[in-house]
Amino acid sequence: MTNKTPHIDLKGNELGFGKTVLMPGDPLRAKYIAENFLTDAVLVNGVRGVNGYTGYYKGVKVSVMASGMGMPSIGIYSYELYKYFGVQNIIRIGSAGAINENVKVRDIVIGMGACTNSNFLSQYNMNGTIAPICNFELLETAKKISDQKGLNVHIGNLYSSDTFYDDSFPSSNWGKIGCLAVEMEAAALYSTAMRYGMRAMAICTISDILYPPFTALDADSREKTFTQMMELALDCAVEYENLPILKAKD
């Protein structure tokens, strides 16, 4: 445990992080969640403007901190949170583009696994292909809560891409093999959690439709209107409070 790493500095803030950290890409979405859903929220990290907040939701200590965009960025923050700050569970709450025609704008997608075109996983020097997957306990709870809420949730593979402006779309084959949506972080988050024996899950709201007729929500909508996803993740965080404590592997 520490109070400072190259990218996170608690500056003596004793509140620290909760067991569960919600991780949107956008620092403004983190701020919005802290101000609108958490009580007694405190800014606990502000390094590089990637703000992190800790407060309480239904009496449970919960944190929300931005990851920035892309796998290198979420790889840094998830590593440091797991290894040095006692965080047990990270829930990515982000936007994604639908690449499966059964998935519509504002639907929620939970990534059971994450395919990728990234070289992020090569660091592990495996003589084969790693299949990054979420933690089953987190997924099982999210499915139970989403059913109770009557949410339109799809569960399946995400495609984590290193490129936002991708020349292969809309004719990409990732949808053909069953990937539901494309985003840019889940594979790195999942592989980091797997490597260090911790828990992770990605919940995404569809902001773009990448098949005809193409649709894209504006930045303000992405920041402030994905409340179903936010509330689902927060309710999950309450349930996760009772999961066994894990120690990050060396």
Active site (catalytic) residues: 208
For residue 80, how many other CB atoms are within 10 A of its CB?
A: 17
Angle subtended at Cα 100 by Cα 94 and Cα 101, rounded to the nearest 5 degrees: 120
Give the torsion sign (CA, 32, 33, 37, 42): negative
Alpha helices in the chain (DSSP H): 27-37, 71-84, 136-149, 186-195, 219-224, 227-240
199-236 CB burial, b ≥16 within 10 A, e <16: bbbbbbbbbbbbbeeebebeeeebbebbebbbbbbbbb
Q: Is 71 helix (H, G, I), strand (E, B) or coil?
A: helix
Spell out where the chain has E strands.
20-23, 39-45, 52-57, 60-65, 89-98, 108-116, 153-160, 181-183, 199-209, 215-216
Neighbours of 35 (CB within 10 A): 11
In this structure, what token pair is assigned to residue 55?
Answer: 């407060």
